Amino acid sequence: MANSGVSTHPITPEDAASVSEFLHEHLDDRVSSAAWKQLILPPWKHVGPNHGFQLVTDDGVVVGAYVAIYSKRDVDGVTIDVCNLAAFCVLEAFRMHSLRLIRALLKQPNFVFTDLSPSGNVVAMNERLGFHRLDTATRLVVNLPHIHGRGLRLTSDPVALDRVLVGRDARVYRDHRDAAAAEHLLVEREGNYGYLMFRRDRRKGLQLFATPLYVGGSSECIESSWGAVRSHLLSSGLVFTLAEHRVLGFARGLGTTLANPRSKMFRGSGIQADQVDYLYSELALVEW
């Protein structure tokens, strides 16, 4: 598919080093090459046809990349193939070729596509390509100190998480426990457990925000212990929680509703907007 000295190729495991270095140099140099490499080669089992697509010049130089993360998801008893569009960067001199990367990904049949961190003009471009916005209504909640009573236990101990989590929660934890941006909290109360996976986010240069990615076990256990959960996050240096209602199911606490929460999008059939989650994605793999 050569065009003006540039060709489009799938990203293979052997390309991980060159593409990760490209992303470090040209997309976000705060993210190390090693961290970008984990995005390309996640710690869970790879189930996709590639790791995205890259633009390469005739002399072998990477000038663009669109990294993708693949997963198989069970939705109402049906297995859905998901392609998460994870990191997109093309050098300015080659921007006219950007659509070749997007088309290479989207022409792959039978996938649901997600884009969970689109930026700038990508949101409008995605809408033209048939993507739909998720409802990302979010309340910015202040994390305050809280003294909880007896009978409540909060821990991030991997041994406890391995011991307590069962079923889907256990699989999700095993797949994500080595994901660089995912942190895990187990809440035990009165014989029940809640499992919260979250990431640390940066706003205005300050990495003070906890963003929940997944709630497992008893959501009521998380909600009834919300004061203690927020206090735990505060003790970890997270002053605020970006409480997205579609993840938590609630958004209580001192704070404010965001007027313009960040967009998240999807495209494909066989899945409804409220069934799209943030697992097996760049949100669990890359700190920025």
Question: Does residue 274 lie in a domain region?
Answer: no
CA–CA gap between residue 217 and residue 79 (Å, rounded): 21
Please give the pLDDT value at position 3: 46
CATH code assigned at 127: 3.40.630.30
CA–CA gap between residue 158 and residue 160 (Å, rounded): 5
Please give the pLDDT value at position 273: 94
Which residues of the chain, if any, have pLDDT below 50? 1-3
Question: Does residue 17 lie in a domain region?
Answer: yes
Domain count, the chain: 2
Please give the pLDDT value at position 4: 57
Question: Does residue 150 lie in a domain region?
Answer: yes
Q: Are residues 19 and 103 in the same domain?
A: yes
**pTM of the full predicted structure?**
0.93
Q: Are residues 229 and 150 in the same domain?
A: yes
Q: Are residues 127 and 148 in the same domain?
A: no
DSSP 8-class letter at 225:
T
Please give the pLDDT value at position 1: 41
Strands, sheet with 52-57, edge to edge from the N-terminal-most edge strand: 6-10, 52-57, 62-75, 78-90, 112-115, 265-267, 132-133
Q: Which residue has the tokens 């072998």?
A: 60
Domain containing 160 equals 138-259
CA–CA gap between residue 227 and residue 246 (Å, rounded): 19
Q: Are residues 115 and 142 in the same domain?
A: no
Q: Are residues 103 and 167 in the same domain?
A: no
Chain-centre distance for alpha carbon 101: 21
Question: Does residue 16 lie in a domain region?
Answer: yes
Task: Quickly count: other Cβ atoms within 10 Å of residue 186's Cβ.
Answer: 24
Please give the pLDDT value at position 205: 87
CA–CA gap between residue 280 and residue 269 (Å, rounded): 19
DSSP 8-class letter at 2:
-
Q: Are residues 84 and 103 in the same domain?
A: yes
Q: Quick: pLDDT tens for 62-99.
A: 999 999 999 999 998 999 999 999 999 999 999 999 99
